[in-house]
Amino acid sequence: MNGVSDSRKSFWIKSLKGSVKADFIGIQKSHQAGIDDYAARRFWDNSNLKADSVDSVGRSGGLLSIWNPDVFSVDMVAKNPRYLLTSGYISGVVNRINILNIHAPNEAGRRRTLWDDLVVLISQYSGLWLLLGDFNEVRSEVERVNSRFDRGSSDAFNGFISNAGLLEYSMSRGKFTFISGHSEVKMSKLERFLANDAFLSQWPNARMSVHKRGFSDHCPISLSCLAADFGPIPFNFFNSWIGELKLVEIVDRGLNNSGVV
């Protein structure tokens, strides 16, 4: 965000929160310290909220996570200047969920140190994992336009994703999340959602979207796990049908009539 003190930014975030029906918001580069629940209300609607933050160092860094306690019950928080972990349980989900809000360093060497630290962190806690934020790195050359591609740094990032057992949701409504420059526009995909297999198994059809920049040089991204956002269910199949003598006949007839080869 490059600072959240501007009231226009807080109104913009609150409006985006309403449009995507968010129950969790992660903000990077808040440039503020001591953000409590009362201060976090600027970015939220009138519903219940809880918040935690990592203080900025002067005018550098700062992380803020806000969530709906009626949906996400947090019982453990871990902090680092580069990440903010909130861990607990989501209504209707048995397993623990760990949501990690990240702002990776600009320097390649310090990013590699962070990747190593995150692999250790993820290995220490079981359950569902979701990583979100500004990773300050791309995974391939096609994720950068008009800026230098560092294959070594990209390989290190991909190695971290593999070693941590993470996968990435495909992004819709755009290819890049950071846009800068005027005469020669530079574009990169720096923001993303990474999840472990347990999270993807819980929400295999979750939809990741990129939104307009608004009051930031980075585009916000959202991940919707609402079944209503996935479109109509193509068909229903009930376990009670298994063993019915006519099941194979009905399926064969349906395939033949649909023209599927």
- Residue-wise pLDDT for 49-90, tens only, equals 999 999 998 778 999 999 999 999 999 999 999 999 999 999
pLDDT tens digits along 213-253: 888 879 999 999 986 544 444 555 655 566 666 677 777 77
The domains of the chain, with CATH numbers, are 7-234 (3.60.10.10)
- Element (H or E) spanning 12, and its range? helix 7-20
pLDDT given for residue 229 in this prediction? 47
- Asked if 130 and 85 touch (Cβ cutoff 8 Å), the reply is no
- Element (H or E) spanning 16, and its range? helix 7-20
pLDDT over threshold 80, residue 183: no
Q: What is the CA radius of gyration of the chain?
A: 21
Q: How far apart are CA 69 and CA 55, in angstroms?
A: 22
pTM listed for this prediction: 0.84
Q: Residue 175 corresponds to which tokens in the numbers above?
A: 């290819």
Q: How many Cβ atoms sit within 10 Å of the Cβ of residue 80?
A: 15
- Asked if 36 and 251 touch (Cβ cutoff 8 Å), the reply is no
Angle, nearest 10°, between helix axes 151-163 and 108-124?
0
Q: Exposed, middle or buried: residue 19 (CB in 10 Å: 0-12, 13-18, 19+)?
A: exposed
The DSSP bridge partners found for residue 196 are 166
SS3 labels along 222-251: EEECCHHHHCCCCCCCCHHHCCCCCHHHHH
pLDDT tens digits along 117-131: 999 999 999 999 999
* Closest listed residue to residue 209, CA positions, set 187, 228, 229: 229
pLDDT given for residue 230 in this prediction? 46
pLDDT given for residue 227 in this prediction? 67
The DSSP bridge partners found for residue 121 are none
Q: How far apart are CA 232 and CA 228, in angstroms?
A: 8
- Asked if 12 and 215 touch (Cβ cutoff 8 Å), the reply is yes
Rounded alpha-carbon distances, angstroms, from residue 161 to 28, 165, 247: 20, 6, 42
Amino acid identity, position 217 = D
pLDDT given for residue 242 in this prediction? 67
